[in-house]
Structure 1
Amino acid sequence: MAGRLSQSDVDAEMRKMVSFIKQEALEKAREIKVKADEEFNIEKGKLVRQETLAIEAFHQKKQKQAETKRKIAQSNDINKARLRVLQARHQVMEDVFAESRKRLARMSADPTSYTQILRNLIMQGAFQIADEKLVVVTRKADAQMAQSVLSSVSSEFQKALERPLHITVSTREHLPDDCAGGVLVQTEDNKIRVNQTFETRLDIAAEMMLPELRIVLFGKSAQRKFYN
């Protein structure tokens, strides 16, 4: 009977066992809590990083949008400014050519010099066409002056090309009265025509002189490397 545990011994053993189980449970609970806290902190860190990245991405997107809008607005302003400059330059060129047209119109006021101009224009037209029968179209007011130089033109034509030239001033067709001056030189069948009016000659000269005139009026462009 000496090996038999008493009730008090049993109770003591039970208390030890309960205490052990309780201690194990507490330690397990602490481990679970620590692990849970770690996982929570990890997840919280992930969420914080994700939210931070999302916020940064949002702000970067907004900044890019704002920068894009700024660049577009700046580009529009630059284009508008360039357009205004081009329009102003175009107006200056128009004014220059308008003044040139007025001066051309005044050239016909001097009969002596204008008669010589008509002769040269008719001569140039005749050599360009190089036909033996030509018609000259003038303003009504210029018909007599043009007629007075035809003999000289025919003589020089024949001397240069070694063939005769029959050239007349048209009595059926005339240039408009508001034409600045000059002539049309054409074949009798009107299939070939050389426009030697002041307006056309000015347009041709303006086209040829335009690049140089731009430089004279506005200076060289930094963007252009070559000039016609």
Structure 2
Amino acid sequence: MSLDTVVEDIRDEARARAEEIREEGEARADEIVAEARTEAERIRDERQETVERQIEQEREQTVSSATLEAKQDRLEARRDVLEEVREAVETEVANLEGDRRESLTRSLLDSAAEEFRTVESVSVYGRASDEALLTRVLADYEGWSYAGEHDCFGGVVVESEESRVRVNNTFDSVLDEVWEDNLKQLSDVLFADE
């Protein structure tokens, strides 16, 4: 074996080893690239899921906020309508006249009279414009007299120093009671379409 052959064998082995190292390096590089791509895809997928979750949360928050705002607007509109109805009813009650006003006033006085059966002197207060009506009606009640003005739509406030009882039978107080007792039913009728 000559020296040239030995050198050539060493070179062949070196080339083979170099080729083997290069192939291992390429295989390792391909492995690293594949791992990097897999990791990049995983990171991209995670970020995409995170972004999609955030978008969904923001969408839900926006929808929830819009729904709440719509409910508040609807409730405010309902309150406005109910307030308008209440004002219209108050106007109607305040503008009652003639026999209807007298009949209601007598009913309220009769209702209050139950509290003052044993009392000799009873004071009655009412709307200033009802003074003549009250004076005329009170002539039918012994010991009862018109005592002055009370700020109301009509009706009476009846009291006696003797019994220390005060009965508020104004149109306002009756309307307040009827309104509270029937507010849900009224609301159901007014807003049945919703």
TM-score past 0.5 threshold: yes
CA contact (8 A) 2:134 2:146 kept: no
Equivalent residue runs for 1:14-163 within 5 Å: 14-107=3-96, 109-110=97-98, 112-127=99-114, 129=115, 132-133=118-119, 134-149=122-137
The verdict on how the C-alpha distance between 1:49 and 1:189 changes in structure 2, with shifts beyond 3 A counting, is: farther
The verdict on how the C-alpha distance between 1:91 and 1:28 changes in structure 2, with shifts beyond 3 A counting, is: same
Most deviating of 41-50 and 182-191: 182-191
Give the deviation of 1:98 after TM superposition. Answer: 1.5
Matched AA of 2:168: N
The verdict on how the C-alpha distance between 1:190 and 1:69 changes in structure 2, with shifts beyond 3 A counting, is: farther
Matched AA of 1:132: T
Distance in 2 (alpha carbons) for counterparts of 1:116 and 1:205: 18
- Where do 4+ consecutive residues of structure 1 move more than 4 Å? 147-154, 189-192
CA contact (8 A) 1:180 1:199 kept: yes
Give the deviation of 1:29 after TM superposition. Answer: 1.8
Residue by residue over 1:16-51, the C-alpha shift from the partner in whole angstroms, topping out at 9 and shown as x without a partner, is 332332222222222222222222111111111121
Distance in 2 (alpha carbons) for counterparts of 1:153 and 1:44: 108
CA contact (8 A) 1:122 1:153 kept: no
Q: Does 1:186 align with 2:191?
A: no
Equivalent residue in structure 2 for 1:168, among 134, 144, 159: 144
The higher radius of gyration belongs to 1
The verdict on how the C-alpha distance between 1:184 and 1:30 changes in structure 2, with shifts beyond 3 A counting, is: same
Residue by residue over 1:109-154, the C-alpha shift from the partner in whole angstroms, topping out at 9 and shown as x without a partner, is 20x3323322221232343x46733532223443454355557667
Most deviating of 201-210 and 84-93: 84-93
The verdict on how the C-alpha distance between 1:105 and 1:194 changes in structure 2, with shifts beyond 3 A counting, is: same
* Percent of aligned pairs sharing the same letter: 24
Aligned position for 2:191? 218
What is the root-mean-square deviation in Å for CA atoms of aligned residues? 2.9
Instruction: Figure out how many residues of one structure are paired with residues of the other and give that number.
Output: 192
Matched AA of 1:122: L
- SS state of the match for residue 144, structure 2? strand
Mind listing any 5+ residue stretches in structure 2 that lack a counterpart? none
- SS state of the match for residue 169, structure 2? strand
Distance in 2 (alpha carbons) for counterparts of 1:85 and 1:68: 25
Most deviating of 94-103 and 71-80: 71-80
Q: Does 1:198 align with 2:171?
A: yes
